[in-house]
Structure 1
């Protein structure tokens, strides 16, 4: 049975990958960016965690165990560097690994995960309740059609951690109701003006899950 669409809270992209690997489910991870950008973020995240003197243990992604390698083969990556390419990809998407309906019914539900969907909107005229609603609804419809669990996650910029345009802080960002509305950046780096918090927009379809285990 497909679960309610979920928004996960993972600080770094390595945390999200670890979460997905632990499910042991076939997963399609859509990265809202280029392959190069993803590898830069992944490298920076691993470097940050491996050199953190306060970390009790090194991240599991830094160890090459047989189980990790086996599970990593269950994750397929796709890269959508623009809002248009993301929506087009979702429009034609089918379930991963080419499983038949009979096979899918016998297996754990597959997972459709989307990384940095909100951040992808941030530099466009569709960074609004209207634009985000359109993309979120499309993602939910796609996952439902494919019979997959849907997970969204906004990870911080591992190269520039203070950046206000990345990470879970985006869910609290106020956006205007309609596309193309004027938005002004405030002194603290956030976006000012009247509008709705993105979290309120997303709650129409998603549950927020701050349990990363």
Structure 2
């Protein structure tokens, strides 16, 4: 069976991270498109901690970050810019896992490695590349990386806790980067397209049912700090 390229179109950051932890691949590379501090701040904000609660002892650290940081098969990389992300992909794409390195469990070969990318759209939003042209460049690089490394690929853009009803995949973007000079009479100058339509050239959209998958069950794990890995 060939590798898959999917986008989880729903879910919060904790839900997505739990699905990564419980994925059956023997090796996972998780790319978080932000700095480590920004990621932890946003992750904690999604839980809406009550007054007087100690942030460092919120259940999210027990159920998600503790498991993630202690996992021997999940590597976490932080990419706060598009340049960081593309440099990271060039490295990941050169690290193909050979079939003989895969392990056999209960008579079955473990699933191929997983490349998971969190919040890639957020890197484009404040740049001139928040367009069909810029997004296509990134999506193509992601698809090429997963192909070269023989990895399954999954993307998730976690929705803002203040407006969970708004999907970032429905945002309208121009066809070309804002740095491209075109005539006002050119149709491409005025035309916009949904981000989802751009992404569908490379990815299959999945409405993941996190509750049915049972990934939000409590986990009694100690608190650990997230690793500081960077590309």
Identify whether the pair has TM-score above 0.5, normalized to the shorter chain.
yes
- Structure 1 residue 101: deviation in Å? 3.5
Q: How does 1:196-211 map to 2 (within 5 A)?
A: 196-211=193-208
Q: Give the 3-state SS of the residue equivalent to 2:127 in structure 1.
A: coil
Q: Which runs of 5+ in 1 are unaligned?
A: 52-58, 183-192
Structure with more relative contact order (C-alpha pairs < 8 Å, separation 6 or more): 2
The answer to whether the aligner puts 1:131 opposite 2:130 as a matched pair is no
* Higher mean C-alpha displacement, 147-156 vs 167-176: 167-176
The answer to whether the aligner puts 1:87 opposite 2:90 as a matched pair is no
Cα deviation 1:173-200 (Å, max 9, x = unaligned): 1111111169xxxxxxxxxx63110100
Q: TM-score, normalised by structure 1?
A: 0.75
The residue that corresponds to 1:118 in the other structure is 121
Cα deviation 1:71-91 (Å, max 9, x = unaligned): 833221101110111111112
Q: Is the 8 A contact 1:2 1:109 kept in 2?
A: no
The residue that corresponds to 2:16 in the other structure is 16
**How many Å separate the matches in 1 of 2:201 and 2:179?**
22
Q: How does 1:1-213 map to 2 (within 5 A)?
A: 1-25=1-25, 26-45=27-46, 47-48=47-48, 63=62, 68=67, 72-94=71-93, 99-104=97-102, 106-158=109-161, 161-162=162-163, 169-180=167-178, 194-213=191-210
RMSD: 3.1
Larger Rg: 2
**How many Å separate the matches in 2 of 1:179 and 1:101?**
40
Q: Is the 8 A contact 2:130 2:173 kept in 1?
A: yes
**How many Å separate the matches in 1 of 2:77 and 2:195?**
25
Give the number of aligned pairs.
187
**Alpha carbons of 1:130 and 1:94: their partners in 2 closer, same or farther (altered >3 Å)?**
closer
Q: Which runs of 5+ in 2 are unaligned?
A: 51-57, 104-108, 181-189, 211-231
